[in-house]
Structure formats: structure tokens, C-alpha cells
Structure 1
Amino acid sequence: MIFNPAQECMDNEARKKLQLANLKNLVEMLYTSVPFYKNKMDSLGVKPTDIHSLKDIERLPFTTKDDLRENYPHGLRACPKDRIVEVHMSSGTTGKPVVDEYTMKDIDIWRESMSRTMAAGGCTKDDIVQNCYGYGLFTGGPGAHYGALNIGATVLPMSSGNTARQLMVMQDFDTTMLTCTPSYALYMAEEAADAGIDLHKLPISKGCFGAEPWSENMRKEIEKRYGMKAYDIYGLTEIIGPGVSFECEAQDGLHVNEDFFYPEIIDPQTGKVLPDGEKGELVFTTLTKEGTPLLRYRTRDITFFQRESCSCGRTTVRMHRLFGRTDDMLIIRGVNVFPSQIEQALIEIEGTEPQYLIIVNRGESHLDDVELQVEVKKEFFTDETRGLEALRAKIEGVMKSKLQIGVKVKLVEPKTIERSIGKAKRVIDNRKI
């Protein structure tokens, strides 16, 4: 379903005119209201009056997560504090948290963005949405909540965790749509199987999953275990929360809400804007934000753009599902490796569970050693050493072929690897210690 055809199916030339007008307004506001951005633009020798076309955005400064942390808590606020009605922030586990402050207009934009997102995943006023994203300062829970309510659906505001209760509510309240991280969706499916719950007999038929990179094979696994359609959604606290982009029924790239968020792909080393179809770092400018708007925010996420027409009728640019992040990419013996590559390969190997842990150490010879712990399905984990050894050798061979590096595979019993109710932790890099 298309929630807002006028915006989502807008003629591209008309959309560009809208984007340019909003970009000019944004640059003027930031230059006059936020000293951080005035100083940045002055250092580059650019003024608001220099913005004549969308290409002129390339003259403007980038914003990074470090900039947000250095300006914590209110240094990037662009409006009077009495207009701020809601605040969200990241966990701040690696430093000061990243803050996003919202005016009422910003909340309306977020609500609209998430309505489009969830409608594209099949949500209607007749749905019962079990929202298992975390509530509170995290944007996931409130974002999905706002979108579902705006559509007119019934929301079960479960938040994350307490899986036994999640499954009870899923059965007792006839959940039809699920929202959570893809790794938690799989964990709930595991727990359901152990409890003797047949998810295929429940009315749940669709889900919007995001907050972490996940592979096409992981999607297939979720769809198989639930008997549902699983849709990828994308967002981040710095920009607005979830709702920046989303998959439609075609499941062929994520439509960007371009009237609100101007996207670019850059070379992460040089900062140069790359052409459509070329993989690089995703950058967003919040064209209409009032509370804490951002210019050219470097997300660290790796993807590329698709501009071919989509069968759904939307005319917005699509971003390919994430390949990973520049900051979780592992460089092992000179080779770039993303955890999502390993996940994609594992799910294709019969006998393995989609649960793994990568442990990287630097050996006595100063070379990188990689151990890949892989959970084996219960029926495969037997006392027959020969069968397990064959499986281990097969995984090592596949990884060598896919990653172009050798890894040591350790097969472990089901549920050995720690689960997460939020974003899954896939890598322990001991080289940094």
C-alpha cells in the first residue's frame, strides 16, 4: 500500500525543485542559528547565497558522529528550546550519546515517514502490530508506534525482551505484524519452536525489521520460520529514527523518503560523491528538520543507489540493503570483510544455524588469526565426529572461497552463542585491546 501517493510517486523534476527550495532554507537556518555550522561553512568559504542547485550541496561541509558528540547536548539545536517537545538519543556506549531533539513539526515528519514505511510493509488499520523495538530514549519503539497509530492499526507496545511473554501475547492477541531487529525475530522463532508453538498457525503474516545489517538469506530464514513477508527498514537516531527508507512489496531496495532526507553516496576515503550503482558510504541531509537538522551526515553505512523504476509505482530513489558499516568492516590480512558476508554464506550451508561469532586475534607471528564460531542444528550435533568434521571442513572451504582468507571454524552446540534482544554482537576484535 502507498500511504502518500502525492509525495511517494511525485514527478522527479518536481521533487528536485522541492528539495532545492528546502535545502536553501536549511542552509540559511543553520548558518544563522548554529555557530558550529557557520564556522564550518566559513572555513570552506561557502555562504547560503552560494547554493543555486542540488549539486552545490557538494560544497557544504560533512557532519560526523564525533561532531555530534563534541556538541553534546544542545550545540546543534537550531530552534528555541521551548519549541522542543521530545528528545531521543543513542546509548552512548562508546562515548557521549548522540542527541536528536524534535519540534512538533519534526514529530509530524517522523510519523509520516514511519506511516509510509509500515504501509509499504502491508500495515493497515486492521492490523495488530506487536512492536518489539525498545522504547524510551531509543528511537525504534516510538517510531514504529507513531507510524502504526497514524495508519490506524492497533499497537501492542511490548518493547524488547521477555521473550516468553512476547510469545504469549503473540498468541493471545492475534498479532498480525511484528517489528523488531531481525536477529531478535530469529531468536523468538527459536524459543517458539522449543515451546512447541507453531508460528505458521498464528495470524502473523508480515514484519518490518531493521536497526542492524542483515542478509537476503536471513530474510528467507525469517520468512520460512514464521510464514511471513519480512521487510527491511532503515533509519538512525541522528537523522530522525526509523523511517528514513523502507522496502515495498517488490523487496528490491529501500525507498528513501527524499522529500525529507536528501541522500548521497560518497567514497569513504576521499569524500567524493559517487555515481548511482557504485558502492560507498551513505550520507543524508535533513531537508525539513527543525530541532537538530544535519548537513551531509556521514552514516558509515555502505550501500549503493538504484534509480530504475519500481513495480510498486513509487518514484523515489532506492538504496540497496546495507552491506555493513565502515566502522564494523574488518581488515584481515589486507582483505575487507563484513560480518554480513559471513552470515549470507552460513545460511546457505545445511546443518548450521544463523548464529555465529567472529573472534579476531593477532598471533605471535603478528598475523591475524580468525576463529569463526558457528552453531550447528541440534540434529547435526551428534557424537559422529566424522560428520561434524566434514561440516567444519565445508564451512572453512566456503569461507575461503567467499572471503578470500582462511578462517578456523569451531562448531558449537545450539544456543551456545549469546543472544541479544537488540542489535546482535557478531565480532570480538581482540587486536584493539
Structure 2
Amino acid sequence: MTFPLDAINATLDRLSRHPFYAGRLPRQVTCADEFAARVPPMRRNDLVGEMRKPGFGAFACPQAVRMNFSPMGGGLVPILHTKADLARINAAAGSQLSACGIGPDDVCAVTFGYHLFVAGLFYQSQMEAHGVTCVPAGPGEADRTAALCRDAGVTVLAGNPSFALRLLEAGMPAPRVFFAGGEPFTGNRTLYDAVRQAMPETQLIDSFSLSEVLPVARTFPGGEGVHVFDELLYAEVMDPETEAPVAEGERGELVLTHLGKEAQPLVRYRTGDLTLLQHTAPLHGRRVNLPRVVFGRTDDMVKVKGVKLYPSELRTVLLGLPGTSGSHRLLIDSLNGGDRLTLIVEGLLDEVARETVRRSFKSQTLLSLDSLETVESLPEGPVMLDERT
């Protein structure tokens, strides 16, 4: 495992004097294990609580030049960046744009939202910093946007995959590169295949970011999954229950540490996202890979047959599967002193689809279904019912 010791120690030394982290962090560590053992994880509630104090509390930053907002804790929380933060983000994103062959001859249409939230301006800024002409189209008005893109000679598109399909149906020529975001993409084979069919020659880029940690990872040419921008971040995966690091390739909660961020620096920040991490040979300078991006949340974990099960990851099993609406319920009860798993799916599944569900369930959860049932209409209720006695 590659541990960025110098960058981590520079971060610890600087933030040990930060109002939020003073007294919480060591000045330096010697390895990844010591970092995980001595630096307590930070939860989203810690960030929300501080940002709701007058003047943003310990995260006050007079040098901030951009303020977006993100829904957290039942309201909108400010997300701050300084001029230097934005320059670092644009430089990291720019190296990925170069890897994709994007440059000043390109024209990019951004169809993410701009109002308050971060995605639209995030893509526009990095494109402009890279010398790319940018069309801030925003979402909606597919017919008009398609015509504008056609007239402007758009070669790069950034937006939701489902809206990209509408643009192509409305007459927009397929772009040379498409940056997908806002909804599961490579993890939704039906949607991904539809986009691939509509753009057979287009370079498709998946991405993962959080408003408070931007960007996290992106597809790089020649690789699979998404590679972490490790010049900006140190990524770990830990057991959400014990907070201990998990072995490489094991699923757990993604934990992120900013390297060098000035406004709202986050150290061992628990994202709540379920993923697995692996290290690869260098790919355009990056070694840290999330091969399946994120596939669930770590909330409401239960143990079944001795294995940790996360209800939200069941969505991945059914995502894009023909014959089902995606609605489902997992019933856990007892049989002969052990646990029994029954998955109830809304829709009609033929034998091939049923076997696909069984295989996907075992691959995703490491558990085998005892029973798979289908119903025409699933009554409203929880995703999981635990009826063990």
C-alpha cells in the first residue's frame, strides 16, 4: 500500500494548529496504521454542527472566494473554497482532461445545475482553466440545448446520463467525451449500455464526488472503475462498526482526508459510502482505485449468518434489471436455529433474470438467498424486515 507519509505529516502539522483540530491531531505519524490508530474519524454531523455556529465556527475562512451549498442534516450547509483550493482542484482535474485528450480546440456543454449547488460551476471552472470553451447550459430544455450544442460545435458533454440521452434524441451530435454524474452510471448496466449504444464512439467518463470533498475520483483512459485524485486526497476504507481499517479489496466505509485544502479541511472524514478500494500500477500517476465506485450506504447495518449486510446495497443488485421496478424488500427470519434470507422483488422475472439476481446478491453481499419471490405490487414499507426471534 502506498501511504503519502510526507503529505499526511504536512497536513497534520498544519492542522494541529487549526481551531477545529487543535488538541485532536498528532503532529506526525510514521505509517498508515499509526495514522488510523491516532487520528479519530470525523462524522458529517461534526461538520454540520460547526458550520451552523455563528460565522461557521472553527471553519470560518475569510479567504474563501466561493460558497456553494449542500443538503446535510435537514438543511443547506455552506461549502467553502479559497482561491488556492480552486487552483489545486482545477490542476488535478486538468491532468485528467489532458489524459482524455481534451484541450483548447474543444467546446464543452455543462448540463449540471448551477443554482446554489456545486456541479455546474465545478465543471465549468475546470474546463475554462484548461482552455476549453464552455457552454453553461444547465439542466432542462432538451430541444433548445441540443440545438445550441449542435450550433456551437460541442465536443465534450458533462451532465446526467439520462439527460444526455434526451439530448441525443433531440438531435445533438454525439460528443467525443462524455462526463457522467448525478446518478449511478457504470453501476447501472442498463443505463450505461443505453448511453454506449447512443454514443458508440464516445469516451465515457464516470465520476464520484461529494460536495464537501471535490473531486474524489474519476475514470481515467485505460483503467476500470474510478481512480482517486490522490494529489488532493488520502482515501481509506474502514469497518463502519469498529472503525478499524479493512483489508484491501474488502467492502467498507470510504474515509477521506484532504491534503492541502485551506477552507474546511477534513481529516479522516466518514463519507457513509460503501465501497471497496484497491491499489493498481500507476495510471496517469494515480494508484488508488475504487473498482465499483460506491454501491450503498453504511447506515442500518445488520449481521446475517455472521456477515455484515447493508440494506442500501441491495439496490445495486436490481439496478437496471429488466422486468422489475427496482422496488424490493428483504425479509430476515429464523429457520432451524439459523438465519433465513428472503428477497421479495416487485415485477416479473424470468428464470434467467432470477438466476442473475441470485448471483448478483451473493457477489454483492457475500450471502446466498434462501428464497427469491416476485410480486406484482409491493406494499409500501421498509426495505428490510428483521423478524428474527
Q: Normalising by the residue count of structure 2, what TM-score does the alignment of the two structures yield?
A: 0.78
Correspondence 1:27-426 to 2 at 5 A: 27-35=12-20, 37-38=21-22, 41=24, 47-48=26-27, 50-58=28-36, 59-73=38-52, 74-77=56-59, 81-92=61-72, 94-181=73-160, 185-190=161-166, 192-193=168-169, 195=170, 197=171, 202-214=173-185, 215=187, 217=189, 218-227=191-200, 228-239=202-213, 241=214, 243-310=215-282, 312-327=283-298, 336=310, 337-343=313-319, 346=321, 356-358=325-327, 360=329, 370-372=344-346, 395-396=353-354, 398-403=356-361, 404=369, 406-408=372-374, 410=376
Query: What's the RMSD between the two structures over aligned residues?
Result: 3.5
Is the helix fraction higher in 1 or 2? 1
**Cα displacement string for residues 176-202 of structure 1 (whole angstroms, at most 9, x for unaligned residues):** 111113xxx234425744x5x4x6xx2
**Could you tell me which amino acid in structure 1 is paired with residue 208 of structure 2?**
Y
SS in 2 for 1:281: strand
Given that residues 113 and 139 in structure 2 are in contact (C-alpha distance below 8 angstroms), is that contact kept between their aligned partners in structure 1? yes
Alpha-carbon distance between aligned partners in 2 of 1:429 and 1:122, rounded to the nearest angstrom:
46
Alpha-carbon distance between aligned partners in 1 of 2:182 and 2:271, rounded to the nearest angstrom:
13
- Tell me by how many angstroms 1:76 deviates: 4.4
2:6 to 15, 21, 24: 21
Which moved further from structure 2: 112-121 or 124-133?
112-121
- Tell me by how many angstroms 1:285 deviates: 0.4
Shift of the 333–295 alpha-carbon distance from structure 1 to 2, 3 Å rule, reads closer
Alpha-carbon distance between aligned partners in 1 of 2:301 and 2:249, rounded to the nearest angstrom:
23
Alpha-carbon distance between aligned partners in 2 of 1:392 and 1:246, rounded to the nearest angstrom:
35
Alpha-carbon distance between aligned partners in 2 of 1:109 and 1:117, rounded to the nearest angstrom:
13
SS in 2 for 1:118: helix
SS in 2 for 1:145: helix
**Could you tell me which amino acid in structure 2 is paired with residue 89 of structure 1?**
F
- Tell me by how many angstroms 1:401 deviates: 4.8
Given that residues 283 and 297 in structure 1 are in contact (C-alpha distance below 8 angstroms), is that contact kept between their aligned partners in structure 2? yes
Count of residues paired in the alignment: 356
Shift of the 129–76 alpha-carbon distance from structure 1 to 2, 3 Å rule, reads farther
SS in 1 for 2:231: coil
SS in 1 for 2:8: helix
Alpha-carbon distance between aligned partners in 2 of 1:33 and 1:23, rounded to the nearest angstrom:
15
| Residue matched to 2:366 | none
| Residue matched to 2:336 | none
- Tell me by how many angstroms 1:125 deviates: 1.6
Alpha-carbon distance between aligned partners in 2 of 1:294 and 1:129, rounded to the nearest angstrom:
31
Shift of the 321–205 alpha-carbon distance from structure 1 to 2, 3 Å rule, reads same
Alpha-carbon distance between aligned partners in 2 of 1:308 and 1:317, rounded to the nearest angstrom:
6
- Tell me by how many angstroms 1:290 deviates: 0.7
**Cα displacement string for residues 189-224 of structure 1 (whole angstroms, at most 9, x for unaligned residues):** 25744x5x4x6xx25122111244331624333111
Is the strand fraction higher in 1 or 2? 2
Alpha-carbon distance between aligned partners in 2 of 1:143 and 1:210, rounded to the nearest angstrom:
12
Given that residues 359 and 429 in structure 1 are in contact (C-alpha distance below 8 angstroms), is that contact kept between their aligned partners in structure 2? no
Given that residues 232 and 321 in structure 1 are in contact (C-alpha distance below 8 angstroms), is that contact kept between their aligned partners in structure 2? no
Instruction: Using the aligned pairs only, state the percent identity.
Output: 21
Alpha-carbon distance between aligned partners in 1 of 2:126 and 2:265, rounded to the nearest angstrom:
21
- Tell me by how many angstroms 1:52 deviates: 3.7
Given that residues 226 and 293 in structure 2 are in contact (C-alpha distance below 8 angstroms), is that contact kept between their aligned partners in structure 1? no
Shift of the 76–180 alpha-carbon distance from structure 1 to 2, 3 Å rule, reads farther
Q: Normalising by the residue count of structure 1, what TM-score does the alignment of the two structures yield?
A: 0.71
Shift of the 25–225 alpha-carbon distance from structure 1 to 2, 3 Å rule, reads same
Alpha-carbon distance between aligned partners in 2 of 1:226 and 1:20, rounded to the nearest angstrom:
42
SS in 2 for 1:116: helix
- Tell me by how many angstroms 1:25 deviates: 3.3
Shift of the 286–189 alpha-carbon distance from structure 1 to 2, 3 Å rule, reads same
Given that residues 174 and 199 in structure 2 are in contact (C-alpha distance below 8 angstroms), is that contact kept between their aligned partners in structure 1? no
Given that residues 110 and 136 in structure 2 are in contact (C-alpha distance below 8 angstroms), is that contact kept between their aligned partners in structure 1? yes
Alpha-carbon distance between aligned partners in 2 of 1:339 and 1:252, rounded to the nearest angstrom:
21
- Tell me by how many angstroms 1:34 deviates: 2.0
Shift of the 313–260 alpha-carbon distance from structure 1 to 2, 3 Å rule, reads closer
Given that residues 99 and 284 in structure 2 are in contact (C-alpha distance below 8 angstroms), is that contact kept between their aligned partners in structure 1? no
